Structure 1
Amino acid sequence: MVWLAFDEHVFHHPWEQVVEAALRKYPNPETPNVSSTDIIERTVDEKGCMRSKKIISSYWRNMGTDIVRRLSGIDLTKTIHALELSVVDPKEKRYELVSKNYNFLNYITIDERLTYAPKNDDPNATLLKQEWRIRVQNLSFQGYLENLMGTTMKSTASSGRAGIEHVINQIKDEVERLACPVVEEMQNLAASTLKEFNSVQAKLEEAQKKLQESDIPNELSQFISKSDNSKGYSSS
């Protein structure tokens, strides 16, 4: 028997923003149960798709894990490791991840698939589709345990989505902090330029005023008149 579940969620942000946040998702305060992420391999194929292989280490500690321990003797509160494979396709705007635990595989198998793509009717929104497949074997109460663990994982999916929203806001803050010095420098430059312009304009106005107040125009006119009437100069 296998427990299956599907869910969807809309992020009201463009696909590029959501994917950048998803790639930088851990650590964040919304999902403190994830203790570490380690990239084993990362390549870019001939189509420009980035392929990654990660180890995600986390711990589960909730009512469901306590019931599993009492019924099966398996302590899920210890660190759980999962292998995550992902592909980012920037041309098709699709980000897909699949993960599987590799602790307790003789008893519990948890497969999860996430797909991020632009929402068809809104280019500024991103649709996340999630799928869970949980199988319990070699234990009693298999159906009950599968349903319990699946329901618990689905209910905590909101924490992961909140984590992405947190990282999106974090990235926006980083961009604003980087932009502030540039904006401040441009404002200072504009203020300095305006100050210099006003100073030059004031000097020009002052010089014009002095010229108007002096007898230079009359003196120049008299000089020209005397030069024309001077007998010492004649045209050849």
Structure 2
Amino acid sequence: MVITVELRKLYKYPFETVVDSHLNKYPTPLEQNITAVRTAEENTDLSTGIIYRRRIATCKNVIPAFLRQISSLKTASIYLEEESWLDKRRRTMSIKSRCLTWAKYATLKEESMFKASQENPNWTEFTQCGSISVTGIGLLNSVFEVFAQAFLNQAGRRSIRIMETILQEKWGHPFS
């Protein structure tokens, strides 16, 4: 079974400000589960100006201890890959993320988009759709999927709160 999670947020800050905050928000004391982010690759397409980045995030293993009794789940860190395409001309940034750890047991993907709002050019629309499917753990597949769905919902909402906090601390009150 595939579990999906969808989030939407309108940031009342300009696109460039929101994207900069996204690219620099981790690690932060506001999120204890993400311990490091490193850029593995970055290049600019000279014909389009699109900036491609591939980043690897190191996260704490958040799987409950009783589930970590399975030997392959006892790892201390989880690695996530984020690929992004920033188009400054069109004021859009698309992102694809996936879990690198446990790829043979589960597929965890997120697709996100930041774009300048059509309602107000000083605002930024954010959408995210995530999915998870667990296939390699037999009878525990559905237990992991339920945990993952709850975790993805919480993590997504926490990420939005962190962005709002960073934006307010760095740039002040939202634009109207």
TM-score (structure 2 length as normaliser): 0.86
Q: Normalized per residue, which structure has more strand?
A: 2
- Partner residue, 2:31: 31
SS across alignment from 1:32: coil
Q: 1:1-236, aligned counterparts within 5 Å?
A: 1-45=1-45, 46-61=47-62, 65-66=63-64, 69=67, 74-75=72-73, 78-139=76-137, 140-172=139-171
Tell me the CA shift for residue 60 of structure 1.
3.7
Q: Is the 8 A contact 1:58 1:79 kept in 2?
A: yes
State the alpha-carbon separation in 2 of the partners of residues 78 and 171 from structure 1. 33
Q: Is the 8 A contact 2:68 2:74 kept in 1?
A: no
Number of equivalences: 170
What is the identity, as a one-letter code, of the residue corresponding to 2:34? Answer: V
Tell me the CA shift for residue 67 of structure 1.
6.9
CA RMSD of aligned residues (A): 2.1
Tell me the CA shift for residue 130 of structure 1.
0.7
User: Could you list the runs of 5+ residues in structure 2 that have no partner in the other structure?
Assistant: none
What is the identity, as a one-letter code, of the residue corresponding to 1:125? Answer: W
Superposed CA deviations along residues 148-168 of structure 1, whole A, max 9, x for unmatched, are: 211221122122112222332
Cα 1:69–1:17 change in 2 (3 A) is: same
Q: Which structure has the larger Rg?
A: 1
State the alpha-carbon separation in 2 of the partners of residues 144 and 123 from structure 1. 43
State the alpha-carbon separation in 2 of the partners of residues 101 and 22 from structure 1. 19
TM-score (structure 1 length as normaliser): 0.65
Identity of aligned residues (%): 20
Superposed CA deviations along residues 183-216 of structure 1, whole A, max 9, x for unmatched, are: xxxxxxxxxxxxxxxxxxxxxxxxxxxxxxxxxx
SS across alignment from 2:103: coil
Q: Which has the higher contact order (CA 8 A, sep 6+)?
A: 2
